[in-house]
Structure 1
Amino acid sequence: MLVPQTFVVGAESAWIPADTEVADGETLTVEGIEMQFFHAITDTEDTLTIWLEDYNGNRIVIDNVVWPQNNLYTLRGDRHRPPQDWIAALKTIRDLQPDIILPVSSGGNPIIGKEECFDAVTSLMDMMRFINDQSLRLTAQGVRPDELTHHMSMPDSLLQSPFVNEFYGQFDTYPAAQPTFNHGWFSGYAEDIHSLPRAVYADYLIQLSGGEENVMAAYTAAMDQSEYLWAKELAVNLYYAVPNNDTYRQALADVFRQLGQMSPGAIVRNFYIGAAQSLEGDTAISLTDIEPKEWVIDNLAEAVDRLRIRIAPERATGVEGVLEFNIDGNRSALHIRNSIAEFIPNPDQYYQAIDASVDTSGDNFAAYYRGEIGVDEFLANSSSTTGPAQELLSVFDEFAVIPMYPDNRDL
């Protein structure tokens, strides 16, 4: 996910808890209006479709299902959106035979007319079914997930519908998600089991090509001939071989920007343009993110638990001990061993005694968690510490924003 580090959080929530829950298919009369509710799974798992069978003589659906700008797969990394679920929600609406559809959260205008509603819903259903079924059909024929898009083209008959468009999501980003969700990342081909690190592969490829100058010349020729995907592959390898070379960084930025300008989907375009800006020095564009201070203070135990994924095996080798955090009276711990950290919600009930402890404030812990201060300052600002707290904390990475395209080969 592209994360703008200047994003401000913490405003008062507008969320209002439901005072009446409904079951799928349940009918209620609200303010004299009879409404039937249907559970739908689309971009969320808690969507409601509302059916007004006779509202001033109109058959009306209010929904978050019929999107005028659809997106079956999120490049940002949201949960998988199974087409079957969305299709089922669309089928429910189609079978109701509305003459007005009011999309409440997808940025669309009302759809008015029974035939217009039917056509919109059916077109979206068929687009999603085409993506899903053809992805699985080709997978069954041995096509790798990352190759599926080269074998699929949306039928012209579907493209006639204004609801089958690439204004938001882009069709060629959808297929790989279908088999990957069904059977995982492995294509089935043995050569895909193991691979060289990207930088090592780049070194070998450039050496085989006769050196960086030859690869750069091929890149320039590809750009001149509008072979942008080939130019991208060449520039990517130059970047990974020498990530601090300004010429190579700009070459990759240029082809990313070109691909972004050619992409119809706003999301794809955003990633390409963001990548170009990262290569050009915008360090705020990153794939890393950190929770706001308010979240940390409100969720202290969960924040301690999340430190687990920061443990660095090369620093944790041979280190073992239970480290307790007492943060404004909220106690939890981490048991560090075998280069892992087990979260302990109730230290007094754990089988092993506490070896070290840190008694600190929520503000101080939040500053450490968010990478605003290091271990030394965190411990110095704490009320008290016992045992080898410094040694145990040193096995964890301190959070830092990492640019999308850094200028080193550390990762």
Structure 2
Amino acid sequence: MKEKTKSFLLELFILLSGTLTVMAGAIIAPILKDMADFFSDIPNINLISKLVLSVTSLAIAVGALFIGVIIDRFGRKPVLVTTTILYALFGTIGFYAMNIYVILVSRILLGLAVSGIMTSCTTLIGDYFSGEKRNQVLGFQSTLMSFVGALSILLGGAFLTISWNYAFLIYFISIIFLPGIIIFIPEPKRNTDDELVVEISDDDSNDSNAGFPIKVGLLSYSFMFLIMVVYFFIPSQFSFYLSDFNVEKKFLVGLAIAFPAIFSGIASFFFKFIKKNLDTQLIFIINLIFVGTGFFLLSFAPTYWVILLGSAIAGLGWGIFMPNINSWLLLHTPNKIRGRVVGLFTTMLYMGQFVSPLIAESIIPRINLFGQMEIPGLFLIGGIAVFVLLLMPITLLLIHIINNKKLDDKPSEVL
């Protein structure tokens, strides 16, 4: 097989594997309300049904704390293959288990599998790609994840016409990817000292003396957690929010939830070109302006179609945010600890997803802000929070301007 073909198939199956992570939540987002109705005799079922979505995030967050160490010690591919199999096994339990608590347990186990898949895939991107090619692959990763996420949401909504539990069958797709993962993704080579051998020329990756990137790490972790808490209001609340607009067609519910993912995918496709011309922090500023504006539109939306507009604008901002923050972190991460650094990042991402509906449920009954109550008020608070978060990239950008240099030009200079 030609080297170019091998490289293409390697990239393809890393990217396809990454889509499994977004399916974990996207598939069941449209079915939450119907599942809650099915188990309506169970106390606090509205909260429990939302936990079916968010408890997976908690399991991913906890699992990623340990999976990064396992990946660095035993290899990327063994973890990826094993967790891909477990993904299909645990993900489909919701189809035939007509017990909400069994489904909750299966979602925890699914989350542990996803932590291995996501951390392995992002680590492999850092191992095999660098510079503009890495930015391109990260952009493609976000694009593919967004479109597959949108498709999963639409499929989940479509399966509602049969029954809510049929959506869980989609998790079998990981078995289709498995042969390609086994055949076309080799384990990165290691030298006699059991250190990864990866040709990287434009960042800190090959510095054997480099340790944990404290400043960039802490900033990216906290930034990821906070923005995810807010952004996850959309998938966790939308099916309930749309009921206030008398949106009864299941497909329209799925379309509204999928809209941010569709536009996120469009935006992330152009990440490589955006990154060529703009500083990391300036990209963050643009991201947050789009996301915040989208949330304000969602808060004051008078019709379903304005909801779609707000969703699209928020999605455009999110589409560049994820590859940008991944690129920023990978640029400053040494090969030898990449799995651990990415694992901690995965933990913060999914911890934000987990606490998001808990925060929402605790404050929704109390919200009355500028006449906006309950879920519209929640989106308003989210928009305000996003604009407050603008202070971080603005501050970092000002520091770069004062120092007359970009952060990305010299990886050793973090701030």
Normalising by the smaller structure, the TM-score range is under 0.3
Which of the pair has the greater relative contact order for Cα pairs under 8 Å at 6+ separation?
Answer: 2
What TM-score, normalized by structure 1, do the two folds share?
0.20
Structure with bigger helix share is 2
Structure with bigger strand share is 1
Which has the larger Rg?
1
What TM-score, normalized by structure 2, do the two folds share?
0.20
